[in-house]
Structure 1
Amino acid sequence: MSPGRTARTMATPGPGISRRSVLVAGAASLALGGLAGVTLWADEETEESKEGDEAPAAPAIAGAFDIARPTRLWRPTALNDTTGPQSLAFDDTRGDVYVVQLAQGGLTLRGEKGPVDAEDRKRAGDLCVTRFSSAGERLGRMYLRGFGHGVSMGVEPEGDTVWLWMESQAHPRTGYGRAVARVRFRDGAVLDSDDRGVRHHRLAPKGSSRVHPAVDMTTGRLLISYRQGEEHGYSVHRLQDVLAGKEAPLHSIGRAAFLKGETFQGCALHGDYIYQLTGNPYSKSDGRNPRDSGGNTYISAVHARTGEPAGRRHVSVDPSLRYREPEGIAVRVSPEPLLCMGFSVKTSGRRNIALYGFEQRR
């Protein structure tokens, strides 16, 4: 966190949380500051339960993290635009969080003659990136036109500069990226994908679509997610190799696990594992994902070298959220590793992001 910035939490107790667990978690939140929050045990007893009977949930491991131990980091929080979140990433040197969303319709950006509607912006791949403090305070925003859908992203801090790794060169029909680009975050700026200063990296196999990046700064690696036909794959690269023009990956996974028939909502790379987020918003009671089903959000892990499964867990946190679409997954490294994911939540006139974290396994 930058000097002089005051940390404050945005945690509030949710349904099914006992008074005792809220008090304990709240004290921990004040002690840690920044991205701390209320601990939400998956099998938490109600307030009427006897305190002596309470017990944390059994571990539910995906990769290096326990998905049965969720912590609410932000209650539903507004982004810069009214559309829902797509992905997020952390600047662990400053304690900031970057969240990507599709740019809203009705805006007139620099270089445009008039407002563009929401569907045209979606097809064009126009994005808005909001910079937040760790406590959820909006600190700035930037627009990226023609870049993609924003399914995943990476942040690479370098001295006083923050570089964003984004999908780029949006397909003119689908709006999803076909390459990745490294762009400097500049508050208030509007940048076009075809700007001559934007360098596009075609790192996915030829003919791939829906190309998305993520970054692991602890190891200096770049993850590329892509689709080839009906198959979903990954490649892992050294950041410095890519910047030097070397496209050969360290590892390639041609067929990732757990995605058949599921909706891909983002990926992250940390240490030995790739983390995948899948799921849909709640549907009507007779639809594919009604609220009373517990939702179909899953976090899955695969080994970054081999693609072998390393755990798949259902995410049952905060089932009462309205809409509750999983959107974005990333690892916050400092002060300790925390696997984080977002939900898009409907409110009057806009969608917000609710943010949750999962601790390392013990």
Structure 2
Amino acid sequence: MATHGPRFSRRTLLVTGGTAAVSLTVGGLAGMALGGDGRDADMRPSQPVGAFDIGRVSRLWSPTPLHETTGPQSFAFDDVRQHVYALQLVQGGLRLPGEDEPVDTETRKRAGDMCVTRYSRSGEQLGHMYLRGFGHGISLGVEPEDGEVWLWVESRAHPKTGYGRSVARVRFRDGSVLDSDDRSVAHHRPAPPDSTRVHPALDLTTGRVLVSYLDGDDEHRYSVHRMRDVLAGDRAPLRDFPVPTALEGETFQGCALHGNYVYHFTGNAYSKSSGKNPRAAGGNTFVSAIDLKTGYIAGRTLVTVDPDLSFREPEGIAVRIAPDPLLCVGFSVKSTDRRNLALYGFELRPPAR
């Protein structure tokens, strides 16, 4: 498989491999593969991708509604409270506080208006918040701290594309509406000044933030920073490297950071049988791991779980830390009047003998 040579910054990255000091109950059908009808099937062969095994899958959520009717973009976990947060674009036709008239769908998308829904681990809705003018929501970080929950999101949406150009850390407040230009919002620029489509994800086990961005030449790159450095205004990354060429041209659907690997999620919804991505061919959803030490691909696997889901567009990837790390992926699933979020988790690879 072709790879792109790494181009790291001069600073080095020390990965401690720490674990979260929390103890929670595992949900889902651990260790079971899921057949095309959604029922449990025999374990598939091992499919290592980074530290995880895509052959060891659990269904976490059947298709579950979000607060708005639009599809999900990303999700992340609060493992202290056993909560899940999901981002979506705000549906058209709504009038939020401070708006004189309802806003149509395309205007909402260009403005970067998002809704974040909070859930219990089982998928019960517990609250929501609107983030107006922030971005598209390709990835999300959730940081519980001192009884509060802080969301790491893209911010300062580009007026033409609706994608974020900065990173913001904002407090989740149920039922509230927060504008990106509110004086309480601090915008951080860990990516280069001319970068676009800036998306953060967190690795709380090591206190780091992953930033996905397009540089001035529209090259897709990743950088890794200490969370405290980003908040202090230090832009120097621990690592900065291009997405390997083998992954270029695929539709990017999210990223996650855990330990020594970046997890890169790509794919599209099924096409018609005569199209480029028919259901019969298994789709084109892939999880790839990129080794932070080298910048090379360290595993790449087609995700075939629940192939008969309606629509089945890959949307979001995140790591649930406790009680054991679980690499989780989401799919947008159509129902009669809305899109829903289905979640699946992949277990760690068994120890080498």
Q: Is the structural similarity TM-score above 0.5? A: yes
State the distance in 2 between where 1:117 and 1:46 align: 36
Residues 1:114 and 2:101 are matched in the alignment = yes
State the distance in 2 between where 1:305 and 1:87 align: 26
SS at match of 1:72: strand
1:254 corresponds to which residue? 242
SS at match of 2:92: coil
Residues 1:41 and 2:33 are matched in the alignment = yes
Following superposition of structure 1 onto structure 2, how do residues 290-309 of structure 1 map, counting pairs within 5 Å?
290-309=278-297
Give 1:256 shift.
Answer: 3.5
2:224 corresponds to which residue? 236
Give 1:222 shift.
Answer: 0.5
Q: Which among 311, 333, 336 is matched to residue 299 of structure 2?
A: 311
2:329 corresponds to which residue? 341
Q: Specify every segment of 5 or more residues in structure 2 that has no aligned partner in the other structure, as ranges.
A: 1-23
Q: Which among 128, 152, 155 is matched to residue 168 of structure 1?
A: 155
**Contact persistence 1:232–1:259 (CA under 8 A):** no
Give 1:232 shift.
Answer: 1.1
**Contact persistence 2:44–2:56 (CA under 8 A):** yes
Q: Which among 313, 318, 321 is matched to residue 309 of structure 2?
A: 321
CA separation of 1:248/1:283 partners in 2, compared to 1, >3 Å: closer, same or farther? same
Deviations 1:252-278 (A, max 9, x none): 113445421200000000011000100
Deviations 1:27-82 (A, max 9, x none): xxxxx8553236542679999xxxxxx85222101100001122110000000000
Deviations 1:137-173 (A, max 9, x none): 0000000000000000101110111000000010101
Question: Residue type matched to 2:301 in 1?
Answer: R
State the distance in 1 between where 2:94 and 2:144 align: 30
1:86 corresponds to which residue? 73
State the distance in 2 between where 1:217 and 1:93 align: 11
State the distance in 2 between where 1:34 and 1:41 align: 16
TM-score (norm 2): 0.88
State the distance in 1 between where 2:189 and 2:107 align: 25
Residues 1:285 and 2:273 are matched in the alignment = yes
Residues 1:207 and 2:199 are matched in the alignment = no
State the distance in 2 between where 1:303 and 1:166 align: 24
Q: Which among 246, 250, 256 is matched to residue 268 of structure 1?
A: 256
Question: Residue type matched to 1:264 in 2?
Answer: F
CA separation of 1:256/1:201 partners in 2, compared to 1, >3 Å: closer, same or farther? farther
SS at match of 2:144: strand
CA separation of 1:171/1:34 partners in 2, compared to 1, >3 Å: closer, same or farther? same
2:136 corresponds to which residue? 149
**Contact persistence 1:39–1:72 (CA under 8 A):** no
State the distance in 2 between where 1:285 and 1:43 align: 21
SS at match of 2:95: coil
2:11 corresponds to which residue? none
Question: Residue type matched to 1:111 in 2?
Answer: G
State the distance in 1 between where 2:200 and 2:36 align: 36
- RMSD of the alignment, in Å? 1.9
**Contact persistence 2:79–2:320 (CA under 8 A):** yes
**Contact persistence 1:101–1:129 (CA under 8 A):** yes
Residues 1:71 and 2:58 are matched in the alignment = yes
Q: Specify every segment of 5 or more residues in structure 1 that has no aligned partner in the other structure, as ranges.
A: 1-31, 48-53
2:342 corresponds to which residue? 354
1:139 corresponds to which residue? 126
State the distance in 1 between where 2:78 and 2:32 align: 25
Deviations 1:93-132 (A, max 9, x none): 1110000000111111110011111111011000000000
**Contact persistence 2:88–2:116 (CA under 8 A):** yes
CA separation of 1:262/1:45 partners in 2, compared to 1, >3 Å: closer, same or farther? closer
2:206 corresponds to which residue? 219
SS at match of 1:170: coil
Deviations 1:267-300 (A, max 9, x none): 0000110001000001111111111110100000
State the distance in 2 between where 1:43 and 1:348 align: 24
SS at match of 1:343: strand
